[in-house]
Amino acid sequence: MNIALIAHDKKKDDLVRFVLAYQGIFEKHTLFGTGTTGSRIMEATGLEVERFQSGPLGGDQEIGAMIAKNKMDIVFFFRDPLTAQPHEPDVTALVRLCDVYSVPLATNMGTAEVLIKGLERGDIEWRNILNQNR
């Protein structure tokens, strides 16, 4: 499965720790990330992450384009709800695209935990069936 990894600045450490904790699951999938987040995950884990621009420079939109083309299966986007983001319209658009295309989205550690366990159990396999039919 194709998995997007995105985090606002104050949440990058949390996402890196999360990927480290579940590295055994993530290594079985194709990973994509925005700028610095992707670099930090690669440095910490040794996993290959295809990197896009940073979020404010269009990385969120690049991942959104993959969602719109049914080329992204899961998004882990650790958002910082307490800090204003200069690219908030891009963030909103990305979340909306996940809803439009039924792409599972985790925006915090609690939801990410449930989603990664579901991925491990095979609960997201319906995405593979969907991809075969398109």
Respond yes or no: is residue 60 known to be catalytic.
yes
Round to whole Å and give the CA distance between 7 and 108.
Answer: 10
Alpha helical stretches, state H, 22-134: 23-26, 35-45, 59-68, 88-100, 109-121, 126-132
Amino acid at 43: E
Catalytic residue, from 9, 14, 60, 90: name it: 60
Round the CA-based radius of gyration of the chain to a whole number and report it: 14
The catalytic site residues sit at 60
